Amino acid sequence: MAYIYKKSLSRGYMWQMRQFTKVWTMGTVIIVMAGFLSWSALAVALDLPESQVRAAWEQWRGEIEGLKARDTEEEHPDEAVLFIGSSSIRLWGSIEADMAPYHPIQRGYGGARFSDLAVFAEDLIAAHRFRGVVVFVANDVTGRDDDPEAGQVAQWFRMVAEVALRHQPEAMVFCVEVTPTPSRWHAWHAIREVNTALRAVCEGDPRLHYVATASRFLDGQGEPRAEYFVSDRLHLNESGYAVWAELIRSELAAVWGREGD
């Protein structure tokens, strides 16, 4: 796993390590160091309590290692599209057919938040060649008292995008809007603020693109369309994935031209 350390540019700080890569992000230097563990440094970089960073690692490291194992078992073309994020990515059983003619690499894990995806971005991204990365995460803001601010969520997304672009500078990163769902409709106002912040990050960088989805998942009364979800009223069913895929393919085509080029 790679770990991250952040220091202010104004301090003129440089940490000499045997292996490091500088990533210039949001007015800071983030130094990614192979094989060096510093929980406090990683917590500073992500603007999270150290206990939360440790908890993310303990909770998800097994699943992340399982995804990394697939990197050695699967073969993908250099022009593949890497899909990372939460359970809606992991559970997308028809992703290959739905995303054709694009070639997907599926690397989602259940319950992901941007706060922990930022921790694991290097693990999920570094092994791949790709034309683009599609990111969908919907669990940071769910109506809890301790939900992070929308701007913080957008900052974590930006950090994930920077990891992708460091490894593949010519790639594009696509952020899929957090979908309105029946089970989290009570938190939709706060989730919309997250979507607004994510869109603003994308609009500020020509390499980042926002995939709007909400209008297709709301009915004439402006409420979530239950027919697009399974019984938990949170995850998409086959019809919901078909709509999702259509919207994502449309954005890829808008950026890259005719599908499959």
The parent domain of residue 111 ranges over 75-256
Nearest to 133 by CA among 92, 97, 169, 93: 169
Is 3 inside a domain boundary?
Answer: no
For residues 196 and 144, what is the distance between their CA atoms, to the nearest angstrom? 19
Preceding omega of 101 cis (within 30 degrees of 0):
yes
Q: Is residue 143 part of a domain?
A: yes
pLDDT in tens, 125-156: 999 999 999 999 999 999 999 999 999 999 99
Q: pTM of the prediction?
A: 0.84
pLDDT band at 5 (very low <50, low <70, confident <90, very high): very low
Q: Would you say residue 53 lies in a domain? A: no
Per-residue model confidence (pLDDT) at position 75: 95
* Residue 181 included in any domain: yes
Rounded distance, CA 42 to CA 50, Å? Answer: 8
How far apart are alpha carbons 45 and 126 in whole angstroms? 19
Above pLDDT 90, what percent of the chain?
72
Of 218, 212, 217, nearest to 196 by C-alpha is: 212
Would the pLDDT of 28 be above 60? Answer: no
Please report the pLDDT score of residue 90 as a whole number: 96
Residue 62 lies in a domain: no
| 37 within some domain | no
User: What is the reported pLDDT for 38?
Assistant: 64
Q: Each residue of 157-199: pLDDT tens digit?
A: 999 999 999 999 999 999 999 999 999 999 999 999 999 999 9
Give a yes or no: residue 162 inside a domain: yes
What's the one-letter identity of residue 141? V
Q: Which amino acid is located at 18 in the chain? A: R
Q: Is the pLDDT of residue 86 over 80?
A: yes
Give tens-digit pLDDT for 231-254.
999 999 999 999 999 999 999 999
Q: With 0-12 CB in 10 A as exposed, 13-18 as middle and 19+ as buried, what is 91?
A: middle
CATH assignment at residue 225: 3.40.50.1110
- Asked if the model's pLDDT at residue 88 lies above 90, the reply is yes
The pLDDT of residue 41: 76
How many domains in the chain? 1
Check residue 42 and give its pLDDT.
Answer: 72
Residue 21 lies in a domain: no
pLDDT digits (tens, 9 = 90+) for 49-85: 788 788 888 888 899 999 999 999 999 999 999 999 9
The confidence score (pLDDT) of residue 119 equals 87
